[in-house]
Structure 1
């Protein structure tokens, strides 16, 4: 049971790159099997034709998160019921790159650029949720832009604490300053936002968040429609 919990804790950290939601939350994890030091994860996607590069990113992240534990010797990842199930499953499990498995679907740059694009969108979506909550609570633009990383440490507001910590977590992916006196609200490069730029910045962030929210609801609807009343 302890190993199973560890694996599911790892899977909680694996995100759909387009939606910035956990695969567990999205119900993409179909099954987990553990045989001593070998872990087998079976995952599924909303449609048979979901882009193989998205599937590959998720598969690699599943594998790498679990291999981060001390005890697994091998992680087998299986993509179930997909047009490219065999290639994705084999490639991820055996450690092949996306380019090696799908040479006709890449320009040679691999998946790094795609990962970066979606990570930036996730950054702004998380930031927008935090900004909207602060505005709703009556904080002025000037006050929001003056907030430093240590300003919200002692928070007696669970929702604000969640939004704050969720945003701080993704800031680390961009290697932004962790100094306590650093401004909380910046762009993804760490550049501070001027007051006259605030509205346009918020609009840009809002577009990222709305796109992710819409796609998330759409994918969950497709998944429910596809698998409701089907047994495995």
Structure 2
């Protein structure tokens, strides 16, 4: 099947290809907390009737097999969620375990079944470690944005779930929360809507969206952050975010160095000069 490589171009949103790319935007690199589409990991999509083929690539030939398997499984799961898709073929390119990963994913095997000699346990424990890091990254981005808007520590710790949802959808100054933001009261989405929305998604994923008057700033286990713990907690979250952002920049640089504007190398083989 022909696989269309768009090199960063977006297909029409209402096309079947556009629907596939929307689903792929929901698949995140577990270590970086970024969509594969944003990172440039999706090499191309091919559609033939109800069969969809997705090719993806990674920054190096030696990227960890379990990480690659997580992403491949996410691709398959998200694309299969489209009602018209009957079959998904995932093709990892230019990776030292490409054949094994492709075979396992396309047969619907778990990582343990696909790699019995490598798997030391279930991937869920690893997933949870990554989810916690992603939660801290998104939370710290929200805290930094609030501080930039003039919120003080007391106001941030006093943030409630209802306030967070208003930040996601309307200017804080339009909600009666005067003194915290710098909005105009126009009711339009503020610049911080994206960070609020991403943090809300992290809360939802962990089952931490509670009553409207519940504290919005909680640790990954759901416990409210105490005032005396806030400085050290924030430093830890900031270190987590910085490490993830460094790794993201590093991976993007490796991917650009490896492929340039277009993928190269045969399936399952390193790119030339690697």
TM range (shorter): over 0.9
CA deviation string 1:91-133 (max 9, x = no partner): 11110110111112222x2211111100100000000000011
Shift of 1:151: 1.1
TM-score (ref. length: structure 2): 0.82
CA deviation string 1:143-176 (max 9, x = no partner): 1011111114132553211100111011111111
Pair 131,229 (structure 1): closer, same or farther in 2 beyond 3 Å: closer
From 230, 243, 251, the equivalent of 1:198 is: 230
Residues 1:224 and 2:256 are matched in the alignment: yes
From 24, 31, 43, the equivalent of 2:37 is: 24
Instruction: Provide the rounded CA distance (Å) in 2 between the counterparts of 1:5 and 1:34.
Output: 11
RMSD (CA atoms): 1.3
Pair 30,131 (structure 1): closer, same or farther in 2 beyond 3 Å: same
Instruction: Provide the rounded CA distance (Å) in 2 between the counterparts of 1:126 and 1:47.
Output: 26
Instruction: Provide the rounded CA distance (Å) in 2 between the counterparts of 1:176 and 1:231.
Output: 41
Structure 1 ranges of 4+ moved more than 4 A: 229-232
State the partner residue of 2:73.
Answer: 60
TM-score (ref. length: structure 1): 0.96
Shift of 1:231: 5.5
State the partner residue of 2:106.
Answer: 93
Contact 1:177–1:190 under 8 Å retained in 2: no
Instruction: Provide the rounded CA distance (Å) in 1 between the counterparts of 2:261 and 2:238.
Output: 36
Instruction: Provide the rounded CA distance (Å) in 2 between the counterparts of 1:181 and 1:190.
Output: 14
Shift of 1:230: 5.3
Q: Secondary structure at the match of 2:216?
A: coil
Decide which structure has greater helix share: 1
5+ residue gaps, structure 1? none
Contact 1:185–1:193 under 8 Å retained in 2: yes
From 148, 164, 175, the equivalent of 2:160 is: 148
5+ residue gaps, structure 2? 1-13, 172-187, 265-274
Count of residue pairs brought into register by the alignment? 231
